[in-house]
Structure formats: C-alpha cells, structure tokens
Amino acid sequence: MTRTVVLAGASGYGATYLREIEELEARGLVRLVGLCDLRPLDADARFAGRPFDTRLDRLLAATRPDVAIVATPIHTHLPLSRQVLEAGCHLLLEKPPAPSAAEWRTIRTLARDNALSCQVGFQSLGSGARTRLAELIAAGGLGEIRGIGCYGAWSRDTSYYQRAVWAGRRELDGVPVADGALTNPFAHAVATALALDGSTGWNDITALETELLRVRDIQVDDTSCLRLRTRNDTVITVAVTLAARTPEEPVVVVHGSRGRAELHYTRDLLVLDGRPEQYGRTSPLVNLLAHLDDGTALQSDIDACGAFTRVLEHVNTSPAPRLIDERWLTREGEGPSARVHIPGVEQAVRASAENLATFAELAAPWAV
Ligand SMILES: NC(=O)c1ccc[n+]([C@@H]2O[C@H](COP(=O)([O-])OP(=O)(O)OC[C@H]3O[C@@H](n4cnc5c(N)ncnc54)[C@H](O)[C@@H]3O)[C@@H](O)[C@H]2O)c1
C-alpha cells in the first residue's frame, strides 16, 4: 500500500529522510505529498515541484497525508507534533522526542487521544543486532546480567556548535532544548541500553546519577557519565565525550555471568565473546509503515520513551555542567574547524563501561 507522507525539516538530518523517501517512492511504498521548512529548498533538490510550505499546519490541511515526519530542532517537536496529531496524521518524530518530560507526556497523550501512532527516530532500535541481543538476554544466553556499560568517543569542531542557534543549548528563549551529549548525540546509547534491559518506562529507573562536564563555552555537557539502576536491578552506565582525539563508534557492552556481548549500534554489529555477527536494520519509517499495514510492533513507540525521557529531564535540570580546567585540554585548528581534546578520555569512557564506574570513581584527573 502506498502511504502519503509530508516531511517537516528538509535539510540537516531531514536530508536522510529525503534519500529514504526517494528509495521508498521507487518501491511504491510512499508518496511525498509535501515538504515544510522555514528555508526554501535548493533549486536542484530532487523534490522541487512538490508542494512546499513554511507552515506545517497549512501544508497538512492542504495535503492530508497519512504520515508526517518531524525532523526539526528539538524545541519545535511539541508544537509541530501537536499540529500533526490534531490533523489526524500518524507521526514519525525525530529523537529525542521532546526536550522535557512535560512535553513528552503531552505528545504521548495527543497520540493516544487521537488513536494515532507515534514512532520516535531511534534508528538503533531497528537494528537486527539489537533484536538478536535482546532475545539472547531474555533467553538467558548470557547468564545473569551484571550490568550494561556504554561508551562513545566522538569529536566535534566549532562549526558543529555554530550550525544552528539551538546547538549546545539547554534552553533557548526560555524553552528547554536539551542538546547535551547524553540527551542528543549519544541519545541512542541511552535508549538502546534501556531497551536491552526491557526498562523503557518512566518508573523502570530506581536510581540515577550523572557527572556532567564540558570543554567548551556551551550550556550543555559534552563529556558525561550517567549511571542508573533499573527495576531489574541492572546497573547501566553511559560514558561519552565529544572531545576525543581518536574518535571511535560507540559500543554497548553487556556483561553477563556466562558471556559478554558488544553491540556496535551504529554499525549493526554484534560481537559475542569475540565473535562478530553482522546484521541489517529496519528504519523507523519502514517499521512505521509495516505497523500501519499489519500491526507490526513499533520499534520505538513514544510510549516506550519514558525511561529515556526521565534521564533527559534529570540531565537537563541538573546543576550546569562543569567546565574542565584548561590544563587537562589540548587544542587543534582554528575558526570553525577548531577542536578541543581531553587526552586520555577514550580510555576513561571505555573503563567506565568495563567497570560500570563513573569518571570520578576512575579518578580521571579532569573529572575530580
Ligand atoms: N536519528 C539521528 O541519528 C539524528 C541525527 C541528527 C539529528 N537528529 C535529530 O533531527 C532533528 C533535526 O536536527 P538537525 O540538526 O537536522 O536540525 P537543523 O537545525 O539543521 O534543522 C533541520 C531543518 O528544520 C528546519 N526547521 C527549523 N524549524 C522549523 C519549523 N518550525 N518548521 C519547519 N522547519 C523547521 C530548518 O530550517 C532545517 O532545514 C533533531 O531532533 C535532531 O536531534 C537525529
């Protein structure tokens, strides 16, 4: 069945959706009936000629799509989601779903009250590697789970923070944004670890602590460690940085009494006791289309973002992230390509995941 779709937010991450929509149109699965953005599309854009509007509510009224995709800045998610759900369209909403718990609850209620589906764009949850690992854990294949540790070490230059007014912000003009490392760039790590433990509800977290640090003049954390305990008594840690000298893709490590699993969630790769297994993935949009067609379960339902949102709310309302002293940092490049590094941070995030420990417990000198 061909579903009609509109996309709000056509550049930035929205470009990924445009590529996917082009592919799905060729397979007859969707038809893009409109685009919404504050900025005009490039003249040579593939979808030039399709209905375009700077206002989503007007575009929805004119096109009446089955599905609307919202891939706009985080602080616009609630107002645009409201327009989508009140227009009677199913929603694919980019992650994080909302910059506060109150806004997440409102979107969830709007979807429920209007009997519409709302998928959140946590694409790591559609990975075959994640599904296989979750099944293995549930079947006891790794024995008793001692804990889940995630680590991530990326590097972002100054242009990353200059690309949009909301980048690196906790709030903008009085509304929450929540663009910290844990809540946005590494949001998948948090959501994936919680999902592997089957702890996706708000009340599934019983204890929560964070160490929030930064190397830049921003409002949010760029180097952070989160440790929480779930109702299953699983300890989960997530230690991440955007100030690595040697970036590497993030990994979720599951420590079991009878085995160890590493989920490389950006690469759909599962390593079980050292043996690699490669998988494919189902995108959030394709999964939503299957859900609408035959009731296939949503891989990232807005309802299942409770525990993630609890982490987000905690991070975004904690005392402001602490600036790491200059003596622990090195700098490279100038202007938009300038980078800041914390020598040794790559080892620290790995050690956190291995030992389920915080930076302070590991005595990382820049953290204490
Ligand atoms: N799933 C992922 O891996 C992934 C990766 C990157 C970003 N994201 C998410 O995608 C979303 C967008 O991020 P981005 O970096 O592309 O943002 P961005 O600032 O580049 O904005 C994306 C587009 O939205 C448009 N826009 C802004 N406000 C709008 C409005 N009110 N109505 C219509 N269009 C509007 C902008 O003009 C821009 O073209 C965020 O939620 C972000 O967290 C997800």
Q: Domain limits of the chain?
A: 3-123, 125-280+302-367
Q: Atom 25 of ligand 1 has which residue's CA nearest to it? A: 9
Per-residue pLDDT tens digits for 226-276:
999 999 999 999 999 999 999 999 999 999 999 999 999 999 999 999 999
Prior bond of 96 cis (ω within 30°):
yes
- Please tell me if the domain spanning 3-123 has the same topology as the one spanning 125-280+302-367: no
CATH for 3-123 is 3.40.50.720
Going from the C-alpha of 249 to that of each of 150, 240, 293, the distances in angstroms are 11, 11, 34
Question: Predicted confidence band at 43 (pLDDT cuts at 50, 70, 90)?
Answer: low
Ligand 1, atom 17: nearest CA belongs to which residue? 73
Q: Name the closest-CA residue to atom 39, ligand 1.
A: 11
Query: Residues 224-241, buried b or exposed e (16+ Cβ, 10 A)?
Result: bbbbbbbeeebbbbbbbb
Task: Quote the pLDDT of residue 40.
Answer: 85
Residues sharing a CB contact under 8 Å with residue 173, sequence separation 6 or more, in sequence order: none
Pocket of ligand 1 (CB under 6 A): 8-14, 36-39, 56, 71-74, 76, 94-95, 121, 123, 164, 184
Region of residue 260 (left: phi > 0; alpha: psi -120 to 50; beta: else): beta
Residues 302-311: tens digit of each pLDDT:
999 999 999 9
Please give the average per-residue pLDDT across 174-193, as a whole number.
98
Fold of 125-280+302-367: Dihydrodipicolinate Reductase; domain 2 (3.30.360)
Mean pLDDT is lowest, of 42-51, 145-154, 232-241, for 42-51
CA of 143 relative to ligand 1 center, distance in Å: 41
Residue (of 137, 120, 95, 94) closest to 263 by Cα position: 137
Atom of ligand 1 nearest to the CA of 74: 41
Atom of ligand 1 nearest to the CA of 76: 31
Place of tokens 């299942």: 304
CA 180 to each of CA 54, 97, 191, 219, 262: distance values in angstroms, whole numbers, following the listed order: 28, 14, 14, 8, 24
DSSP string, 155-186: E--HHHHHSSTTTT-SEETTEE----TTTTTT
What pTM, to 2 d.p., does this model score? 0.97
Rounded to 5 degrees, what are φ and ψ at 236? -120, 130
Percentage of residues in the chain having pLDDT higher than 90 = 97
Q: What is the pLDDT of residue 47?
A: 87
Rounded Cα–Cα distance for residues 81 and 106 (Å): 10
Q: How far is CA 273 from CA 148, 165, 260, 332, 348, in A?
A: 15, 44, 5, 38, 22
pLDDT of residue 41: 80
Q: What average pLDDT does this structure show over 99-128?
A: 98
